Amino acid sequence: MNIQPERLVELNNLTIRFGANAQSGNATVDHVDFHLDKGEFVALVGESGSGKSLLAHALSGILSPAAEMKSDRFHFSGVDLSDPKSNKWHGIRGREIGVVFQNPRAALSPVRKVGKQIADVIAEHRFLRKQALKEAVLEALAAVRIPDPALRVDAYPHELSGGMCQRIMMAIALAGDPALLIADEATTGLDTTTQAAIVSLLRQQAEARHMACLFISHDLALAKDFAHRIIVMHAGQIVEEASVDRLFTSPRHPYSAALTKATPANAATVSELSGIPGGIPDLRRSVPACRFAGRCEFADTQCWTERPELAGPPDALVACWRPLS
């Protein structure tokens, strides 16, 4: 029997533009379709400038006012959120959607005790009396495995290690018991041992609370560990979307394949490594229709003039005129 999973996020044809690119007319996030089921773990990968964090900001309702966002449809649990200023965001932001950011020490207020910062968020989503609030904070700290919660509530971020701060961040993100947790480069810059601990805590909490999880990272190996489905972005466009197994065994987009080949862990010797020529195209100037065309060894005129749509079987979508077989 086939049980249809329940849709949590449905986002069609998302476009985000900035004034800085007005001359070229290029959107910084370009025609992106995105969906997520309840309890699903999805990873979004790409290099810096790929637009993945911007997508995360749009999904969590904190896009800067300078960004102009348009979409055909943006539903979260059936609520229409396509207007970023809509007051429907109230009750969803921080409550139904929690976010863990990178660089945790900077992501916490430096002048407020961490316990207070968690309490602020809990108090926003639940009506609790003082004593109950205090207990809820301790519980939240214990849930993210902070040793001696009673001691740490009165600490300031600069008194805690990076890993510890990231656990506090996670407690804040989990405070509203959200249905979706977004981890935006949540382990970047942490030591590998700490990184591993944070990822496993993330997975364990998401599973225990039946949350869907969007894991955003530039690190392919990390994404591979974590998610069921992987979305690869390049210069604001989704180039490939596939199950983990398919993406890593037989990537179909040249960019996904090139990224795999550039990862040190996948190479036996230096000579097996290969970089990708050029960089992410400058969106202030005019760019090819497939924005990877300028860096792609297989590109032809069609790639420069016609934008490839994301197409294919559900577990192996690719946006490419010349996909690898």
Partner 1 sequence: MTLLDVKALKKYFPLARGQLLHAVEDVSFAIKAGDGLGLVGESGSGKSTIGRLLTGLELADGGTISLDTSTDTAVQLVFQTAEEALNPAFTIERNIAVGLGKNRSSDPKRIAETARSVGLDPELLTRRPHQISGGQQARAGIARALVSEPELLVLDEPTAALDVSVQAAVLKLIDRLRRERSIALLFISHDLEVVRLMCDHVLVLYLGRVAEYGPVEQVMSAPAHPYTRALLSSAPGKSNRVRSAGEALSPIDPPGNACLFHNRCPSATETCRTSKPELITLRDGWQAACHHMERS
Partner 2 sequence: MIKLFSSRLLLALPNLLGVVILIFILTRMLPGDPAAYFAGPAATQKSIEEVRKQLGLDRSLPEQFLTYVQGLFSGDLGRSLTSGQSVLDDLVSRVPASLELTLLALALASGLGILLGVGASLRPGGGLDRLCSVVSILGQAVPTFFLGLLLVFVFYYKLGWAPAPLGRLDILYSTPDGPTGFWIVDTLVAGDLDTLSGVLRQLTLPVVTLAMFGIGPVARMTRASMIEVLNSDFIRTARAAGLPPSKVLWTYAFRSIAVPVLNTVGMVLSFLLGANVLVEKVFGWPGIGAYAIESVLASDFAPIQGFVLLMAFLYVAINLAIDLIALSLDPRVKFDG
200 binds partner 1 (CB under 8 A): yes
148 binds partner 1 (CB under 8 A): no
Q: Which option in partner 2, partner 1, none does residue 273 bind, with CB closer than 5 to 8 A by kind?
A: partner 1
To partner 1, the closest distance from the beta carbon of 204 in angstroms equals 12
Query: Is the dihedral angle over the CA atoms 240, 244, 245, 249 positive or is it negative?
Result: positive
Rounded to whole angstroms, how far apart are CA atoms 50 and 85?
25
Q: Which option in partner 1, partner 2, none does residue 124 bind, with CB closer than 5 to 8 A by kind?
A: partner 2
To partner 2, the closest distance from the beta carbon of 102 in angstroms equals 8
263 binds partner 1 (CB under 8 A): yes
Among 41, 101, 226, 321, binds partner 2 (CB under 8 A): 101
Among 48, 109, 302, 305, binds partner 2 (CB under 8 A): 109
Alpha-carbon distances of 105 from 8, 99, 163, 189, 278, rounded to whole Å: 31, 15, 9, 11, 33
To partner 2, the closest distance from the beta carbon of 242 in angstroms equals 29
Q: By the 8 A CB rule, do 261 and 324 touch?
A: no
10 binds partner 1 (CB under 8 A): no
Among 270, 313, 314, 325, binds partner 1 (CB under 8 A): 270
Rounded to whole angstroms, how far apart are CA atoms 71 and 15?
6
Q: Which option in partner 1, partner 2, none does residue 60 bind, with CB closer than 5 to 8 A by kind?
A: partner 2
Rounded to whole angstroms, how far apart are CA atoms 220 and 46?
8
Nearer CB in complex with partner 2: 101/226: 101
72 binds partner 2 (CB under 8 A): no
3-state SS record for 29-92: EEEEEEEEECCCEEEEECCCCCCHHHHHHHHHCCCCCCEEEECCEEEECCEECCCCCCHHHCCC
